[in-house]
Chains A and B, each alone.
Chain A
């Protein structure tokens, strides 16, 4: 798969996970791994730069939170811009999937 594809995938995944509530990096990594039943294995080497990129783009925002009795953690939440961008990203993603399916069918025909 081309890098472009992977990048798009991960971005949609991260944004979707943050849609429900703010999460920290480790949690995001675990969730992706769990929900994709191990198919998408995500290296930290990819996740954190991705988070920083999305933050720079203004779609997510990270903030250090200290809960009582725990060390501080950096929680990421979806910004208004990110919330607005998500449907479009999802749509692009679905289109890509559909295109792959179409091509696959034509190719087999």
Chain B
């Protein structure tokens, strides 16, 4: 046996180990250490008595793969940064180049900012799906806010388009005792005010009016107020063409002049400047056009077409102190405050009350800023609540965006670690991350502005009953500024938490493993989801309450039938029909012709259309009692026989009017059940006699009792109502009601023909269905219900998306745990239950908090704006319904990721990193 030469293990190792790329000395050390290891194994084997060949095999088996050993050693040995550089995937290199560039450039705030933005854009371009999702989420939130702010800006904030608009007020009568905070003004009171007050630089009255214009192809209705001297001067406006009224034109007989609106000038005169001086026929009388207002001028209503001088009749001046029908406009004198004017006017009203106790007792004066007019005061609470709602939506959108950033942090945190390793300050990194989120929020704001542009255009087209001053709503500089500020705040809000968590990243930890340092982030994400669920729940509860209120409103018994009923207005102008008999004849002929139209079942005339929201009220008293302001008031309807039947109004007792109740017969009337209960408690009202407003001295006998009919809308307080035969009290302006069993299509045109056949000079005005009238009467509740519902739905959707995101993330994070459980025998159904229950835990926490929030907030909402009708703020049905709805949505959002989890292959899961 020949002695074998001992093996040179160092050489053995050196021959096999690939170059490590380390310093020569260090490589030598490693080779020596490894050689000793092999030598140890070899010697030990020999000592055990194994053959040389066997011992060699033992040593060789110590290192089965030299290449992978070299790789591992290289990884363990190389300095951090070089090591990273060697393994950095292509998409991280950018971060390094960036950081190096930055260092070379040195600190300059603006250059840094510019670089940050550029870098952010590059990063976002690289993950377009993520960026799109965040931008879309934010766009919805910001768009909703910009839209509602545009509305608030246009309706509440934007100054009125007059010079020094804050001085403009309306001086109105007020009767707190009757529950009328503001009321129209009577002409004698107005003239006394104007004679006695020193508070105003201008005070002018207006009386709404409408004319039938017969100069065109077909008769047209022109509407617009008559105004007293000083109206335009008080507003400080000038005409675009021609001139305004001169004092002489307020003399009786000289007042047949009109100023017209820009819109009317364009439609009736094709914008011809020669319209000035033209003579037009209104209600059969000749008026001269003296001026055209500018396109932007409007007073309270954009629909105003024509202004004419208002001259009071002697009768109005002497006997009409109790007749309230004027509006007015005033400008506070220089240095006079609203409160000073109010106290002066209150003193004047008190004097008038003493002077004219019969007509003025209980009446005082209320001064209202013009900016509060036209329903603005009523809409304000709704708008503020909506602003709160979209604020919630934006918060939820922020939480979602933050959640998405946190999820991405898992991907980003190696990149951040590299930048920290390369010497970037933590503050610098946080700033970079914030820049990214602000860039995202600005992109969201840009898209949100598009949404706002579009939606404000829709809102601006809403009729004034829906939203006062709607035409003022647009995206202007202020909205733009609001949106930009919002975008900045939003970007910081949703970016801050993720940026801080990332900036605090543990360097070594981040590089050590692929992203398991996410436990803290997971907690934050869950917190965000709980907050989202809470906010969305509060919004949904509020919306739910409004929806319930709205269904209550629309199911209120209006006291009449609307299906197949239509109405239009009709005049028999005094100039063409000078006597009551002639007026009656005209209306009766029209009624007969319309009744003969195919498909028309019945026709009636009425002076005041029920549910229209218009009113005509007079004092009412038992026969023999004196006229007094303390007498109750009743709505007045003059009707033809068959009106109650045509309208589907219940006749509870007595009889309807007949053709025999005419000018020669004793005066009769029908009262409603509210009247009967109030004035004749426990007595039969039939045969009782009353006196009533417009011709108070005439005693009427009650011949029937009708059911209560809604006049203003379903939420109104019930008022007294009196019906009288039109034949006994004729008048020039009536409405025609018709009932059809057909579709109603073509009825308007047919009615127009029928009216023209009777008198080609008269127009069919405002043909509308009763369904439209009812729908209009609930337009404000519908406005806020629809919008709040929309925002609540959006909020719920965003919250569900957030929940889904967190659940998906959690499932991914727990894939290993799921794998272990399944490997140990857990059933997919158990996994499903476990994962869903984890998600639902978050939902339950959010809902519990939301429930508390909803109880508080809806109470606040109700106290500051009486939105709820027939529902209490803590309505259990609504809260339960919202909870169930939420549970279903949330369960779906949890179920999908959980289902995926339950389908995981245990082998894959265990290997999952």
The stretch that binds A, out of B57-65, B178-186, B787-795, is B57-65
Q: Which of B29, B34, B75 contacts A44 (CB 8 A)?
A: B34
Chain A residue nearest in CB terms to B74: A49
Q: Which of B30, B65, B68, B825 contacts A48 (CB 8 A)?
A: B30
B36 touching A73 by the CB < 8 A rule? Answer: yes
B857 shortest CB reach to chain A, Å: 41
CB-defined interface of B639-676 with A at 8 Å, one 1/0 digit per residue?
00000000000000000000000000000000000000
A108 shortest CB reach to chain B, Å: 6
Q: How many residues belonging to B are interface residues under a CB distance threshold of 8 Å?
A: 35
5 other contacts beyond A25-B33, A46-B72, with CB at 8 A cut-off?
A4-B913, A48-B34, A52-B30, A103-B821, A108-B825
CB-defined interface of B13-37 with A at 8 Å, one 1/0 digit per residue?
0000000000000000110111011
Tell me whether A13 is interfacial, beta carbon within 8 Å: no
B824 touching A56 by the CB < 8 A rule? Answer: no
B76 touching A50 by the CB < 8 A rule? Answer: yes
Known: A4-B913, A56-B77. A103 touches B824 (CB 8 A): yes
Known: A2-B913, A103-B821, A107-B821. A45 touches B63 (CB 8 A): yes
A107 touching B825 by the CB < 8 A rule? Answer: yes
A52 touching B77 by the CB < 8 A rule? Answer: yes
Known: A48-B30, A50-B76. A2 touches B911 (CB 8 A): yes
Query: Which chain B residues lie closer than 8 Å to A46 at the CB level?
Result: 72
Tell me whether B347 is interfacial, beta carbon within 8 Å: no
How distant is the Cα of A49 from the Cα of B68 in the complex, in angstroms? 11
Chain B residue nearest in CB terms to A28: B37
How distant is the Cα of A4 from the Cα of B38 in the complex, in angstroms? 27
B883 shortest CB reach to chain A, Å: 30
How distant is the Cα of A26 from the Cα of B36 in the complex, in angstroms? 7
Interface size class on chain A is 20 to 34
B832 shortest CB reach to chain A, Å: 15
List 10 interface pairs A-B (beta carbons < 8 Å), by A numbering. A3-B913, A4-B516, A30-B40, A48-B33, A52-B30, A53-B75, A103-B820, A103-B821, A107-B820, A107-B825
Of B33, B34, B816, the most chain A CB neighbours within 10 A belong to B33
Which 3 pairs between the two chains have the least Cβ-Cβ distance? A107-B824, A49-B72, A52-B76
B77 touching A29 by the CB < 8 A rule? Answer: no
How distant is the Cα of A29 from the Cα of B44 in the complex, in angstroms? 13
A17 shortest CB reach to chain B, Å: 16
CB-defined interface of A37-53 with B at 8 Å, one 1/0 digit per residue?
00000011110111011
Tell me whether B73 is interfacial, beta carbon within 8 Å: yes
Q: Which of B33, B63, B68, B69 contacts A74 (CB 8 A)?
A: B33
Tell me whether A97 is interfacial, beta carbon within 8 Å: no
Q: Which of A45, A50, A53, A107 contacts B65 (CB 8 A)?
A: A45
How distant is the Cα of A44 from the Cα of B59 in the complex, in angstroms? 10
Query: Which chain B residues lie closer than 8 Å to A103 at the CB level?
Result: 817, 820-821, 824
Query: Which chain B residues lie closer than 8 Å to A1 at the CB level?
Result: 910
Known: A43-B63, A73-B36, A100-B820. A107 touches B826 (CB 8 A): yes
CB-defined interface of A1-28 with B at 8 Å, one 1/0 digit per residue?
1111000000000000000000011100
How distant is the Cα of A24 from the Cα of B513 in the complex, in angstroms? 28
Query: Which chain B residues lie closer than 8 Å to A43 at the CB level?
Result: 62-64
Chain A residue nearest in CB terms to B824: A107
Q: Which of A2, A44, A49, A106 contacts B821 (CB 8 A)?
A: A106
Query: Which chain A residues lie closer than 8 Å to B820 at the CB level?
Result: 100, 103, 107
B36 touching A45 by the CB < 8 A rule? Answer: no
Helix, strand, loop or mixed for chain A's interface?
helix
Query: Which chain B residues lie closer than 8 Å to A107 at the CB level?
Result: 820-826
A2 touching B910 by the CB < 8 A rule? Answer: yes
Query: Which chain B residues lie closer than 8 Å to A53 at the CB level?
Result: 75-76
A26 touching B37 by the CB < 8 A rule? Answer: yes
How distant is the Cα of A104 from the Cα of B513 in the complex, in angstroms? 26
A26 touching B40 by the CB < 8 A rule? Answer: yes
Q: Which of A4, A45, A73, A104 contacts B68 (CB 8 A)?
A: A45
How distant is the Cα of A70 from the Cα of B75 in the complex, in angstroms? 31
A96 shortest CB reach to chain B, Å: 11
CB-defined interface of A52-67 with B at 8 Å, one 1/0 digit per residue?
1100110000001000
Query: Which chain A residues lie closer than 8 Å to B75 at the CB level?
Result: 49, 53
How distant is the Cα of A26 from the Cα of B911 in the complex, in angstroms? 31
Query: Which chain A residues lie closer than 8 Å to B823 at the CB level?
Result: 107
Q: In B694-739, which residues have CB < 8 Å from any A CB?
A: none
Q: Which of A4, A29, A30 contacts B513 (CB 8 A)?
A: A4
Q: Which of B36, B72, B821, B910 contacts A25 (CB 8 A)?
A: B36
How distant is the Cα of A30 from the Cα of B43 in the complex, in angstroms? 13
A44 touching B62 by the CB < 8 A rule? Answer: yes
How distant is the Cα of A45 from the Cα of B75 in the complex, in angstroms? 13
Chain B residue nearest in CB terms to A52: B76
Q: In A70-109, which residues have CB < 8 Å from any B CB?
A: 71, 73-74, 100, 103-104, 106-108
Query: Which chain A residues lie closer than 8 Å to B822 at the CB level?
Result: 107
How distant is the Cα of A5 from the Cα of B30 in the complex, in angstroms? 26
Query: Which chain B residues lie closer than 8 Å to A45 at the CB level?
Result: 62-65, 68-69, 72
B816 touching A2 by the CB < 8 A rule? Answer: yes
Q: Which of A4, A29, A56 contacts B76 (CB 8 A)?
A: A56
CB-defined interface of B818-862 with A at 8 Å, one 1/0 digit per residue?
001111111000000000000000000000000000000000000
CB-defined interface of B50-92 with A at 8 Å, one 1/0 digit per residue?
0000000000001111001100110111000000000000000
B515 shortest CB reach to chain A, Å: 12
Query: Which chain A residues lie closer than 8 Å to B40 at the CB level?
Result: 26, 30
Q: In B855-911, which residues have CB < 8 Å from any A CB?
A: 910-911
How distant is the Cα of A108 from the Cα of B825 in the complex, in angstroms? 6
How distant is the Cα of A56 from the Cα of B38 in the complex, in angstroms? 24
Chain A residue nearest in CB terms to B83: A56
B910 touching A44 by the CB < 8 A rule? Answer: no
B816 shortest CB reach to chain A, Å: 7
B76 touching A49 by the CB < 8 A rule? Answer: yes
How distant is the Cα of A47 from the Cα of B217 in the complex, in angstroms? 104
Chain A residue nearest in CB terms to B516: A4
How distant is the Cα of A46 from the Cα of B62 in the complex, in angstroms? 10
How distant is the Cα of A107 from the Cα of B913 in the complex, in angstroms? 21
A48 touching B37 by the CB < 8 A rule? Answer: yes
Chain B residue nearest in CB terms to A106: B821
How distant is the Cα of A50 from the Cα of B508 in the complex, in angstroms? 16
Chain A residue nearest in CB terms to B816: A2
How distant is the Cα of A53 from the Cα of B516 in the complex, in angstroms? 20
Chain B residue nearest in CB terms to A46: B72
B62 shortest CB reach to chain A, Å: 5
How distant is the Cα of A63 from the Cα of B17 in the complex, in angstroms? 22
CB-defined interface of B797-821 with A at 8 Å, one 1/0 digit per residue?
0000000000000000000110011
CB-defined interface of B223-239 with A at 8 Å, one 1/0 digit per residue?
00000000000000000
Q: Which of A4, A44, A56, A71 contacts B63 (CB 8 A)?
A: A44
Query: Which chain A residues lie closer than 8 Å to B38 at the CB level?
Result: 44
How distant is the Cα of A61 from the Cα of B676 in the complex, in angstroms? 106
How distant is the Cα of A73 from the Cα of B39 in the complex, in angstroms? 12
How distant is the Cα of A26 from the Cα of B9 in the complex, in angstroms? 14
Q: In B477-492, which residues have CB < 8 Å from any A CB?
A: none
How distant is the Cα of A2 from the Cα of B817 in the complex, in angstroms? 12
How distant is the Cα of A4 from the Cα of B910 in the complex, in angstroms? 12
B67 shortest CB reach to chain A, Å: 10
Q: Which of A3, A30, A57, A74 contacts B29 (CB 8 A)?
A: A74
Q: In B260-314, which residues have CB < 8 Å from any A CB?
A: none
Query: Which chain B residues lie closer than 8 Å to A104 at the CB level?
Result: 824
Query: Which chain B residues lie closer than 8 Å to A2 at the CB level?
Result: 816, 910-911, 913
B824 touching A108 by the CB < 8 A rule? Answer: yes
How distant is the Cα of A74 from the Cα of B817 in the complex, in angstroms? 41
How distant is the Cα of A71 from the Cα of B75 in the complex, in angstroms? 28
A27 shortest CB reach to chain B, Å: 9
A44 touching B37 by the CB < 8 A rule? Answer: yes
Chain A residue nearest in CB terms to B78: A56
Chain B residue nearest in CB terms to A44: B62
Known: A43-B63, A106-B821. A52 touches B37 (CB 8 A): no
Query: Which chain A residues lie closer than 8 Å to B825 at the CB level?
Result: 107-108
Query: Which chain B residues lie closer than 8 Å to A71 at the CB level?
Result: 36
